[in-house]
Amino acid sequence: MIRSSIKGHTSVVLKDYGRPKSICLIVLALLLFISIGCQDSNSSPKKSPEDSIVGVGIPTEVMVVHSTEQHGQNWCWAASAQMALSTQRVNFSQEAIVSKLFGDLVDRPGGVPHFLGLCGKYPAANGVMHVTCEFGDGPPPLNFLIDSLDENRPVILGCTNPGSNIGHAVVATAVIYRQTPKGPQLIRVLVRDPWPGQGKRILEAEEYANAMFHAVFKATPIGG
């Protein structure tokens, strides 16, 4: 087992010795390490073997500071944007987000066009942050998700909402996957769900595959 802390995220590698019943235990162990945010300042990133189960994510002690529940029936998108921006030192409440985009505190659904409307410059403790947004239809490619989390950028997912034509936004904060000769193979994703009472939950591979869209904010300092 190798544990490493990089840029405030947790990366864990566990060897899978080909025992089917061990996979659940390995996944649980990875979720535990990501949840407690294991830290090992003396370790360096290690490449996983081809038959390893790998976990990459933002530790719970970091996300608990930035997580929030939605304050409106339709504000999952605004709460998700607040969480994603907050992890990158841009403090923008969901009320401020809604007011900026709609001119008032209206309880309306939102999505990618509204995320794009949040791009721009914002004051921060260390100067000014320039916010951009990258997005796409469907779930992001697995390598994109891994790289985004490795760079401390949570990924907003627009999940389907059974019985409704309006989706539900959640924030992906960790991913567990199998390293194979053909590349990474998704096992599950850990998300922060802004719906009241949901909090941190597991997104199975099937639910991830059915995501309607994805969006990632990138906040870059441009001044001191």
pLDDT (average), residues 144-165: 90
pLDDT more than 90, % of the chain: 64
Percent of the chain with pLDDT over 70: 76
Q: What is the pLDDT of residue 45?
A: 32
Domain ranges, ordered by start, for the chain: 2-223
How much is the mean pLDDT over the chain? 81
- The pTM for the full model equals 0.79
Structure tokens at 52: 């390893």
Class of domain 2-223: alpha beta
pLDDT in tens, 101-138: 999 999 999 999 999 999 999 988 778 999 999 999 99
The pLDDT of residue 51 is 55
Mean pLDDT of 49-55: 74
Residue 192 has pLDDT above 90, yes or no: yes
Residue 220 has which token pair? 């870059």
Q: Is the confidence at residue 11, as pLDDT, over 50?
A: no
pLDDT value of residue 40: 38
| pLDDT band at residue 204 under the 50/70/90 scheme | confident
Mean pLDDT, range 37-53, rounded to an integer: 45
